[in-house]
Structures are given as C-alpha cells and as structure tokens.
Amino acid sequence: MIFNSPQFLLFLAVVFALYWAPLTATGKHRIPVLLLASYVFYGWWDPRFLVLILFSSYFNYRMGIALAEGRDDRTKDRLILVTLVVNLGLLFFFKYFNFFVDSFQLALGMESSWVLHIALPVGISFYTFQSLGYCLDVYNDDQEPERDLPVFFTFVAFFPLLLAGPIERAKDLLPQLSAPRPYRRAQLVEGLRLLLIGAFKKMVIADRFAPMADTIFSNPDLFGGMVAALGVVFFAVEIYADFSAYSDIARGAAKLLGIDLTRNFDRPYFSTSLAEFWTRWHITLNTWFRDYVFTPLNYSMRSRGMLGVMFAITITFLLSGLWHGPRWTFVLWGLFLGLFMALELAFEKRMVRWPKALRWALTMGVILCSMILFKAQDLSKAVEFAGRICTTGNDPVFLVKRILSYTELTPIAFAMTLLLGAGLFVLDGWTARPDFIPTLERRPLLRYSGYAGLLLLVIFFGVYVDQKAFIYFQF
C-alpha cells in the first residue's frame, strides 16, 4: 500500500472517520485506532515484518524506563550500550549482513556463496533511528520515559512516517499522541493541501523524470557528455520531487489526524553552501546524525581543533552514506560529501566573500556529482558514467530524439515534463513565502483554480501513467 495508490486513499479515509468519530467522550479510542491502523498499514507489505517492529517497540519501551531509573551513571552506560548493540545489531543483520559477508569474501578472493536469504523489512532504518533517538534522549536526560505502552508503540509505528520518515523526535511527537486533540477544520484543509501537493510532486513530476534519468544512466554509451550531464540533472529533480512528495503526503496524512510532523525539505536546491544544503535536505535525518554522531565525535576530538572537526564531519557523512544502503556507491557517496564538507569548512572564511551565484554553482556542482554515485548500481557503472560526462561530440538534437525513442515520449510530452519540473521549483518558492497562505485565503478564485489544476494533473497522470514506488522505500 503506497501513498500514491487508491488503496491508501481509502485506508486514510477509514482511519480519519474512525479516529474522529465520537466513540468515547474523552477520545481515548484514538490511540488504539492509530495503533491498529499503523499495524494494518505495515502488515500490508508483509505480516512477518510485524514481529520485528513489535519486538523493537517493546525493547526500546523497556530500555527507556530502565535508563530513567538507572541507579548511577555506570548502570546507565551499560544500559545504553545494550540499547545500541540490540538496535544497531538488528539493523546490521537485516540490512548489512550479506553486504559485509560479500565484501569479505571478495577481499579474500572467494566466491560469494555464503549469504542469508532474508527479506529487508521496509522502513527498518527509519523506525530504528527514531526509537534509538528516544533512548539516547532519555539517557541524556533530555526526555522523560514514556510509560504508556500503546502511546509508545504508536510513536514507533505511526503509519504516515513509518516507511520513510520524517524521523521524529520523541519530545515533538509523544506529547501530541498523549494529549487530547480537538478537531479543527483548518487542519483538514491544510492536510488535504499537503496531500495534493505531494501527489503532484510524485505522480506528475518525479514519475515523469524517472524514465528519462533511468534511460540515460542505463545506456551511457549511447549518449554524449552533454546528455549524460542532463541525466544527472533529471535524476536530481526526480529524487527531490519523489522524496519531498513522500514527506508532504506524510505530513498531510498526519495533519488530518491533528498531528504536526517536521518539515523535511526546505528548498535545498537554492542553497549557496553544502552546510546550508544539509540543513534543507532530509532535515530530520541530518539533524539526527548531527546530534547523535557528529556532536559526540566532535566533542571527543575537541583537542585537535579544526582537524578534529573535519574528521568528525567526514565520519558522520560516511556513516550517513552507509545508512542509505548496503552498497559501496553509498559509502563513497557519503565519503565524497564528507570530504567536500570538510574542505568547505576549512575555506569558509574565504568563500563567504565570493559572489553568491558562484557559491551556488559550486554547491550544486558537488551535489550533482555526488548524484552519480547515489544513482549508479555499482562502482564500475559510476566510473563509466562519470567518464561519459567528460566526452564531447554527438548532435544534441539527435541525442534528444534518442531519449524520446527510448522513453517512448513525444516531443510535446518531453517539453511538458521539463516545464513541470521548472514548475516544481516555482511551487516551492511560493509555498515558502510567509504570505503564501494568507494570499490564498484572500483570493478564493486563485486558490481553487490552483487546486483544481493540480488535481486534474494528478488524476490524468494517475490514470494513464504507471506509478512507481517511492525511492526511499529501499532504505
């Protein structure tokens, strides 16, 4: 059951009706409704996954209480070590075991034959980090332990964010789940608006750019350097539209239930530095790594000054790359970005005096280069594609015709796709303005015309074009 499916719309409508129905005077039925809905949603993928999330939820629930009641620092240190080993051990076993076994056998010149045939539970990286962040906050005395079992289980399994985030902090989400929430029409309107914008980004933009990016990345030998570079741009638009769409739909679904989730994207492609970019892209994951990985590392190496900070940044991004998946391309992607982040920090005082346009161009250049590693299935393909970008020749008109033939797009459809991609950034710019919502409220004709146009595009592409799963489901 993916967000861009009719089944999810029906599921969300049923949950909305049951959640707000006056079944109890105090609204105490809402947590059971949310918890049951979340397990139905997750079990829809594979009922076997429920065993793991139930274990993870109960283990972290008990560890949170134990950490709060620890008699002394030594006891708490042992408890947090057990918490880290169990959570990261489960993540390692299901997501990385075969990857490291394969790599070890390859390093020894052995045939890669001894692997486990295990299914990767969807969303395991996200709910593991959310649960682990809760326990670390309790350990650091930044969070009181949640003693209401159903509320904590709902915190871990809340269906809008379960598969691909945002990775919420306990201090932000747990109070919203525990406190009674009256129904407000404004929440319904805002939730529906986010759902519509998310559906537009995914079904109209991301899924239109995907076949063009896939075609170019899969057949780099057919195209010259200019088109190969264009393929990277296509993928950059695709992945941003795809993942920000998921976040918008997650926030919209939660808003319908009176719950506010963290905004996960904030116009990242307008950034003029890498540091700024990572405060705008996948905000909740990068905040998690900043607080729980970079900050402790940086503190432990504070005596080494700037070198210590640069080392902490590089290791943090390396681990972030590994978090994305069991592939060496992801590891190198994280290392590549970490090294450039460290260099940017070293030259920060000089760079702030450079023209803003130059800083933006350099930032986007590094991000787009990193996209090659992120998109490629293995290192050899990444190297081949990067080499292709450095080539010249080939008639651009001929190459565009070849793209159209491989993707089965007409010239008009191709041009419309490019215009819609540009429209994504216009939409982002509008929605980020403080006066955007008030302006819409004052101009109902403009508001309803815009919504109707987005809805028609979503319906058209939803009916006549096959939809793809969200990219971040694989992580």
Active-site residue flag, 282: no
> What gap in Å lies between CA 82 and CA 209, rounded to an integer?
44
Q: Which two tokens stand for residue 381?
A: 């393909």
Check 29, 117, 282, 324 and give the catalytic one.
324
> What gap in Å lies between CA 333 and CA 343, rounded to an integer?
16
DSSP class of 110: -
Other C-beta atoms lying within 10 Å of the C-beta of residue 76:
19
SS3 per residue for 189-218? HHHHHHHHHHHHHHHHHHHHHHHHHHHHHH
Cis peptide before 160 (omega within 30 of 0): no
Burial pattern 22-31, b for ≥16 Cβ within 10 A else e, equals eeeeebeebb
H/E stretch holding 150 reads: helix 149-157
> What gap in Å lies between CA 128 and CA 163, rounded to an integer?
11
H/E stretch holding 224 reads: none
**CA-angle at 272, arms to 217 and 414, nearest 5°:** 35
Inter-CA distances, 114 with 286, 295, 322, Å = 35, 38, 22
> What gap in Å lies between CA 173 and CA 188, rounded to an integer?
19
Of 190, 179, 182, residue with least CA distance to 256: 190
> What gap in Å lies between CA 95 and CA 129, rounded to an integer?
14
- Phi and psi angles of residue 409, each rounded to the nearest 5 degrees, phi first: -100, 145
> What gap in Å lies between CA 113 and CA 119, rounded to an integer?
17
> What gap in Å lies between CA 416 and CA 208, rounded to an integer?
10
H/E stretch holding 271 reads: none
> What gap in Å lies between CA 80 and CA 295, rounded to an integer?
17
Burial of 431 (0-12, 13-18, 19+ CB in 10 A): middle
**CA-angle at 400, arms to 398 and 403, nearest 5°:** 115
> What gap in Å lies between CA 404 and CA 414, rounded to an integer?
7
What is 284-305 written as a DSSP string? HHHHHHIIIIIHHHHHHTGGGH
As annotated, the active-site residues are 324
